[in-house]
Structure formats: structure tokens, C-alpha cells
Homo-oligomer: A and B are copies of this chain.
Amino acid sequence: MTTQELVAQIKKKKSFLCIGLDVDLNKIPTHLLKEEDPIFAFNKAIIDATHHLCVSYKPNTAFYEAYGIKGWQSLEKTINYLNKNYPEIYTIADAKRGDIGNTSTMYAKAFFEDLAFDSVTVAPYMGKDSVEPFLAFDNKHTIMLALTSNEGAFDFQTKTVEGKELYKQVLETSKSWKNSKNLMYVVGATKAEYFTEIRKIVPNSFLLVPGVGAQGGNLQDVCKYGLSKNVGLLINSSRGIIYASKEANFAEEAAKKALELQVQMAEILN
């Protein structure tokens, strides 16, 4: 999917919500555990109930890998279901991959070609040649960690490197990489004040923002400092939406939570 198509979808739905499909069998409604593939059954119900309120779904691969081959089958079924039934949806494999050049190419093929995701998250530590293989794919985005929403973000990301915080160096440096137009960045919502600085470096790039809701970030603050002229934000919520209820009506309850955010987003976009 192109950036333009993503922006068009955002304007049509008046939403820049991304729903994180981080499925934990201990947290889903117990009646689903009888299904042949409880993870896919859960995802399908959530997707069917919320697809008109969001523009993107983001399965975190860790939750699928934790169930071994069965988990990968659930992930494959989920992305195939999305691509077949809701091709307008922007899909993100939250995999945080990165390796030396040839090996990154293997990861890029796995997520962009075999699984046909629109984008994948990557880690920046190994530098240019670990990320450029992902950037080589047309109409695919590579979403690089810049400033994450966890406590450990302060261990290295905010440390000063040659006069500038590391996450700013990462943003700045990556702009010179080949096909950097295909880059987006992960920026945690728990630090809304950082968005002003970030927008000075990447004024138009899309930012994937985790940490709204369960992790304490505030939607209004993030938008105040983070919106670009093309919206430029994908706000992710996972637990706050998908685990709204453990009852039979869990998908409806999830849709209510998604609607609350979508209504706020529509107001902000007006």
C-alpha cells in the first residue's frame, strides 16, 4: 500500500487508529478455547467488529511465536483474512527485526512477500545495511524503532550522542539511507513533549505511536505535537480495545472502545 492510499483511508474513515492484535490465550473469552484455532477465531471476530473504525491492524509476532507452529498458522490465517476481506486495511507485522544485509533480506521476504504485510517494524542498532534491504520493496513501509514507550527507552535512546539524543541521531541518519521515503518510525505516546523535536527532524513521516491507553499516553497531547499536514500518525491501542470484555459479546465491547477513540480522532481531524 502506498502512503497516499493510507492517507485516503484515514480521511475517509476519519480515523488513524491501529488495533494491536496481541493475542494471549489466557486473556481471550474462554468459550473460544473450544475452537480449532482460538487465536484466529478471536482475531476474526475483533476484525469483523472493528474494521470500519480503524485503518490498521498490528499483530505482534511474539504472541504468535509463543505458540510455535500453531501460532504461525494463526498469524498466516489472520493476515490472509485481512488481505482477502479488507484489502483497504494497512497491515503491520510488529516483529522488530534486523540483521546483517543478506539476512535482513530474508526477513523482508518473509513479511512482505510470503505473509504479504504492508509494513514491518525493525530495530536500528545494526545500522544502515540492516535496514536498507527492507526499504528496497516498493509500496511497503519499514517502521523503525526511534523512541519506544517503555522504561528502558531511557537506557540508551535518550542518551546524548555527539550532541544529540540517540533517537534523534537514528531519525536524522536514516533520512540519508536509500529509499528512505519508505520509512516510518515508532515513537511512544508516553512522551508527548518529544513530538515537537521529532517533527523538526521528520516533519512529514508517519509515526506509529504505541502507549495510548494501557501504557498511559494521552491522545490529545500526542496529536497536538505530532500531527503533520498529512495526518502522519497511526495511534496503536491493543489491550485497551481487544480485551474490553471476556464475555460472549467481547467483539461488540471491543468495537465500543474503538469507537470512543475514533470519535476523538474525527474531532481532532476536523
Known A96-B123, A125-B156, A157-B127; contact A150-B101, beta-carbon cutoff 8 A: yes
In the bound complex, residues from chain B placing their C-beta under 8 Å from that of A124 are 125, 155-156
> Is A161 part of the binding interface, using a Cβ–Cβ cutoff of 8 Å?
yes
Choose, from A41-49, A58-66, A192-200, A201-209, the stretch at the interface.
Answer: A58-66
Number of interface residues of A (CB under 8 A): 54
Interface string of A84-102 (1 = CB under 8 A from B): 0000000000001111110
Instruction: From known contacts A62-B99, A66-B107, A161-B159, infer whether A126 and B148 are also in contact, taking CB-CB under 8 Å.
Output: yes
Q: Are A63 and B106 in contact (CB under 8 A)?
A: yes
Binds B, one of A1-9, A67-75, A250-258: A67-75
Complex contacts, A148 vs chain B, CB 8 Å = 100, 125-126
Q: Nearest chain-B residue to A167 (Cβ)?
A: B125
Copies held by the complex: 2
Q: A155-B127, A161-B156 are in contact. Are A68 and B62 (CB under 8 A)?
A: no
- Is there contact, CB below 8 Å, between A126 and B109? no
- Closest approach, in angstroms, between the C-beta of A147 and any C-beta of chain B? 10
Could you say which residues of chain B place their CB within 8 Å of the CB of A128? 151-152, 155
- Mind listing 28 A-B residue pairs with CB under 8 Å? A22-B103, A62-B103, A62-B104, A62-B106, A62-B107, A62-B110, A63-B106, A65-B106, A66-B110, A68-B114, A68-B115, A69-B69, A69-B76, A96-B123, A98-B123, A100-B148, A100-B150, A123-B125, A124-B125, A125-B157, A126-B145, A126-B153, A126-B157, A127-B151, A127-B152, A130-B152, A161-B161, A166-B166
Binding site for B on A (CB under 8 A): 22, 60, 62-63, 65-69, 72-73, 76, 96-101, 103-104, 106-107, 109-110, 114-115, 123-131, 145, 148-157, 159-162, 166, 169-170, 173
